[in-house]
Amino acid sequence: MKHVGTKTIETKRLTLRRLRLTDAEMMFRNWTSDDKVTNFLRWDAHKIIDDTKSMIQQWVNNYQYDSTYYWGIYLKEGKMIGSIGITITSDYDFKGALGYKIGSRFWNQGYSSEAARAVIDYMFNNTDIERIDAFSSVENPASKKVMEKVGMHYEGLLRHYYKTRDGFHDCTLYGIIREEWEQT
């Protein structure tokens, strides 16, 4: 699979760019310390900024690989409100998984959909990826709406697919393939 790495993406209201260690304070304040955001994640809300710094450092270290696709989501004026990425799940099969997180103060304003659409377009325009999928807990209908809004199609229910601090979650699986993206 052809890889190009994480490059800056501009949308109407957002800038998607690589994380920097200097983002730690905004990231901690705007979403990594937010219990509402981490409700459906594998990790608890950060209690101290050092946890956020460690998370950023892992991503910064991974930027050396062209197969890393992970962006901070920033409003045009520079405020970081979340993050989004594609994890390449199979180079052989040319596929990846989309994941996103956004601070609860920024929910229901279309930011997640705007960022997800931009990342999907980036991947199909710049790599030879064939398929992008995403899943969310059935208890998280807002995430399901994002997947539908960006042109992903419902593919099924995955029982006890994802474990969080609250136990196992049934998840809905959505996907988009290159041919469908080209028709949008």
**Backbone torsions φ then ψ of 51, nearest 5 degrees:** -65, -40
Tell which residue, 63, 74, 47, 75, has the closest CA to residue 3.
63
Q: Which residues of 125-152 are buried (b: 16+ CB within 10 A; e: fewer)?
A: eebebbbbbbbbbeebeebbebbeebeb
Separation CA 67–CA 4 (nearest Å): 7
Predicted pLDDT at 165: 82
- Pair of tokens at residue 27: 């990231």
How does pLDDT run across 124-170, given as a tens digit for each residue? 999 999 999 999 999 999 999 999 999 999 999 999 999 988 899 99
For the purposes of burial, counting CB atoms within 10 Å of the CB of 118, is it exposed (0-12), middle (13-18) or buried (19 or more)?
buried
Structural domains of the chain, ranges and CATH numbers in brackets: 9-129 (3.40.630.30)
Secondary structure class of 106 (helix, strand, coil): helix
pLDDT for 14 beyond 90: yes
Average of per-residue pLDDT across 60-80: 96
The least confident of 15-19, 36-40, 180-184 is 36-40
**Backbone torsions φ then ψ of 119, nearest 5 degrees:** -70, -40
pLDDT for 110 beyond 90: yes
Residue 179: partners with Cβ closer than 8 Å, 6 or more residues away: none
pLDDT for 40 beyond 90: no
Separation CA 131–CA 136 (nearest Å): 17
Average of per-residue pLDDT across 73-100: 97
pLDDT for 180 beyond 90: yes
Separation CA 97–CA 129 (nearest Å): 11
The H or E element that residue 99 is part of is strand 95-102
Q: For residue 42, what pLDDT band results from cuts at 50, 70 and 90?
A: confident
Average of per-residue pLDDT across 50-71: 96
- Helix 141-149 and helix 111-126, axial crossing angle in degrees, nearest 10: 40
Q: Which residues of 96-107 are buried (b: 16+ CB within 10 A; e: fewer)?
A: bbbbbbbbeebe
